[in-house]
Amino acid sequence: MSMDAGQLAESYRRDAERRLAGYQRLGAAIERLAVTARSPDGGVQVTVRAGGTVSDVALSEAALRQGAARLSRLVQATIQQAQGGLAARLARRARACLGDRFDVVDVVGVVHGTLPPAGQPQRGRARKGPAGAGAPPAAAGRPAAGRAG
């Protein structure tokens, strides 16, 4: 069964509207997203927001008695734990809002600030659009990663 040009254009329009709504839902979710992690001993608690920004750090009295070098390592490890949790949660939210067509590599790159600057060549492959027609590469053109947990 083949589509005429009008049907194909309408199919692309509907698909674009669905994706735009998904991106809008994801954007709203990202604005509210925060993840809190605790060190194994519970002495350090860190909260990060989208972009990996640390928004809160809480230290117990016991943590303060550990010495500067150990406390520094503990804070850094807890920040990394929170950022990893944020990336995983963001990937799950992206999948929920956008379906299987989103690019988890780019979503996690947004969280960690690792996306290449605009205008740089992008690696990747084109994805199939509606009814199997060729579509432009998704997100920044990177190949889709496996399922996000």
Domain with residue 127: its CATH number is 3.30.1310.10
Other beta carbons less than 10 A from residue 136's beta carbon:
8
- How far apart (Å, rounded) are the C-alpha atoms in residues 136 and 42? 47
* Residue 30 structural domain: 15-132
Q: What's the pLDDT at 64? A: 94
The answer to whether residue 149 sits within a structural domain is no
Q: Hey, CA dihedral for 51, 92, 104, 102, is it positive or negative? A: negative
Q: What is the pTM of this model?
A: 0.59
Cβ neighbours of residue 93 under 8 Å, at least 6 residues apart? 26, 29, 30, 33
Q: What's the pLDDT at 29? A: 81
The answer to whether residue 28 sits within a structural domain is yes
Domain count, the chain: 1
The answer to whether residue 6 sits within a structural domain is no
Q: What's the pLDDT at 102? A: 60
Q: What stretches in the chain show pLDDT beneath 50?
A: 115-118, 121-149
Q: Which two tokens stand for residue 30?
A: 């990202």
Q: How much helix, strand and coil, in percent to the nearest 5, is found in the chain? A: 55, 15, 30
Q: What's the pLDDT at 79? A: 95
Q: What's the pLDDT at 71? A: 96
Q: What's the pLDDT at 28? A: 84
Q: What's the pLDDT at 59? A: 97
The answer to whether residue 9 sits within a structural domain is no
Q: What's the pLDDT at 76? A: 96
The answer to whether residue 139 sits within a structural domain is no
- How far apart (Å, rounded) are the C-alpha atoms in residues 8 and 88? 35
The answer to whether residue 86 sits within a structural domain is yes
CA angle, 8 then 14 then 16, to 5°:
100
The answer to whether residue 98 sits within a structural domain is yes
Cβ neighbours of residue 80 under 8 Å, at least 6 residues apart? none
The answer to whether residue 145 sits within a structural domain is no
